[in-house]
Structure 1
């Protein structure tokens, strides 16, 4: 039994291909509608799975070609994040056999495929896919690392990319002097399509590490959103995914985590650090002249189109690049517009991790760096 899968997002396509092959199907893939049609003519599949929103030839264009030009009755399943009722109805009018809305689990995809074309004689029934989800959008996450060999939770990262198939994690080794690079390369083994390592030979500070990682991921055409997250996972992956979901269902261009203490949230900080953070935030608000509660939370996600604007030039500080991001956006878009582009979303969980690279001395120096930012972006 042969299946042709067509999707412009390779993270989704490769995960789907792997699962279908495990089930015993013969699979060919295409990352564009044009390539999909060419393969269809020679491969003669028993089933076509196609995404709708592809550049160039759309999924519905592919369906039209198969039904009208090829005059084929080959079963077609659309798998897409597009929930426009008219497009879905148009698909069925053209003769599709099923419509799956992303996010969708690989288990559900497998069940629908088996219902339409049956189960192969030789199937790997031992292969499991419970909990694995094909996301609506593809997301790149930069994780800066400096001497993190003792704090990196390899299993947590592996489990996340296993279950969330639209994510790509890019670890940036910021000139570590310990075995961080070796730990990252080991973490990448077996997950090369979902995890990458960007190595900076010299330590440039967190701001430069994030900047390099963001510019690197922005070159990947399949990614819709790009963000960054601290290596110690003080921000829970579930919270980060919630930031992404807000991006998916809104017109915001940046969704930033906020470590606000409130009922129902598990937010812990050291007392001294909490007082210093509150003081620094007051200064930052006076500089930005925008009502942010927590610019320095290390969890943010943004539309890829913003990356070049805010990350192309080097930051003037090593730690306060978040403030500089907002200052650059304010300078480009104006204060009124930029406030409608940014959402500050409270986290449900945030735990201060031991071994923080930011010392009390650094906290004092931050005040001087904020003055430098205020003058530079005036």
Structure 2
């Protein structure tokens, strides 16, 4: 039994191909609608699995082409993050056999395919990957800056997330670590090269430059819809980061930034001294930005890929306060009124201060001087 999978996002395509081959199907893939139509004629599949929102053409155009081949009886299944009712109706009007809305699990995808074309004879030597694995609605790149994280890096949590959430690409930036961080990252990447990458900086440049290099590296990957960054200690966990992505997807915002505001129903913990210093620094930041931010320095942010060159094209002037510079660059590019409409500050449900933070109390004092420098340079 032969299946043709068409999707312009390689992260999704590789995962789909792997699961279907595990189940015993013969699979061909195409990363564009045009290539898909060309393969359809030569491959003669029993089922076509196609996305709707592709860069070169709509998946509905592919469906029209397939249905124009009257002699071919291939089943057609759409798997897409597009949930517009008119698009779904148009698909069924054209003759599709099923429509799956992302996010969707690989297990559900497999069950629907088996219903349409049956079950192939599985090679008993082939091991089917265990565990619920979800195909995301969007492809998201996440930068994780690392400096001497050998003992703090939560490798199991990162690998487990990458394994289960298909559509996420994790980019670990080794910021010139002097311990065994690079070796730890290579072990973490082993076997997951398609959705975990390592950007190795020859020397330590600070968190700002590490994040900047990682963001520019991921921005080159055209399959990514959104790109963000997250701290290596996972003080903000992936459930909250997923919530930031969902807000970005369901709105016209360009940036969604996490906020560690204490509130009912949220698990937000900080050291008392750090909390007092943070409140003082934040008051100064609000004055400089002239925008009502509660927490610019939360290490969890996600943005539309279109703003990455605007925010990260030039080096930052500070090592720690690049978040403030990001928002100033947004204000300068779009104007204050428009920038306030494009940036969303979303309270986190969970945030835990992790021991071993690289930012000391002495460094906190230096921040005031760096804020003065920012105010002067961006005046």
Deviating beyond 6 angstroms after TM superposition, the runs of 4 or more aligned structure 1 residues are none
Deviation, structure 1 residue 109: 0.3
Which residue matches 2:194? Answer: 193
Deviation, structure 1 residue 328: 0.5
Tell me, in whole angstroms, the C-alpha distance in 2 between the residues paired with 1:239 and 1:249.
15
How many residues are matched?
Answer: 378
Which residue matches 1:357? Answer: 358
Secondary structure, aligned partner of 1:137: strand
Secondary structure, aligned partner of 1:72: coil
Contact 1:10 1:222 in 2 (8 A): yes
Which residue matches 1:235? Answer: 236
Q: Is 1:320 the counterpart of 2:350 in the alignment?
A: no
Tell me, in whole angstroms, the C-alpha distance in 1 between the residues paired with 2:57 and 2:334.
34
Secondary structure, aligned partner of 1:166: strand
Which residue matches 2:248? Answer: 247
Contact 2:145 2:210 in 1 (8 A): yes
Q: Is 1:75 the counterpart of 2:83 in the alignment?
A: no
Deviation, structure 1 residue 40: 0.9
Contact 1:106 1:130 in 2 (8 A): no
Which residue matches 2:261? Answer: 260
Deviation, structure 1 residue 123: 5.5
1:228-377 alignment, distance < 5 Å: 228-377=229-378
1:128-143 alignment, distance < 5 Å: 128-143=129-144
Deviation, structure 1 residue 71: 4.5
Can you give the 5+ residue segments of structure 2 that lack an aligned partner in the other structure?
none
Which residue matches 1:32? Answer: 32
Can you give the 5+ residue segments of structure 1 that lack an aligned partner in the other structure?
none
Deviation, structure 1 residue 88: 1.0
TM-score scaled by structure 2? 0.98
Deviation, structure 1 residue 126: 5.8
Contact 1:102 1:135 in 2 (8 A): yes
Tell me, in whole angstroms, the C-alpha distance in 1 between the residues paired with 2:139 and 2:130.
19
RMSD: 1.1
Secondary structure, aligned partner of 1:232: coil
Deviation, structure 1 residue 87: 1.3
Contact 2:46 2:73 in 1 (8 A): no
Tell me, in whole angstroms, the C-alpha distance in 1 between the residues paired with 2:127 and 2:376.
62
Tell me, in whole angstroms, the C-alpha distance in 2 between the residues paired with 1:56 and 1:16.
21
Tell me, in whole angstroms, the C-alpha distance in 2 between the residues paired with 1:123 and 1:333.
57
Contact 1:107 1:130 in 2 (8 A): no
Which residue matches 2:113? Answer: 113
Contact 1:49 1:77 in 2 (8 A): yes
Q: Deviations over 1:59-118 (max 9, x none)?
A: 111111111146522100011111111111111111110000111111110110000000
Q: Is 1:59 the counterpart of 2:92 in the alignment?
A: no
Q: Deviations over 1:187-226 (max 9, x none)?
A: 1000000100000011000000000000000000100000
Which residue matches 1:7? Answer: 7
Tell me, in whole angstroms, the C-alpha distance in 2 between the residues paired with 1:134 and 1:144.
25
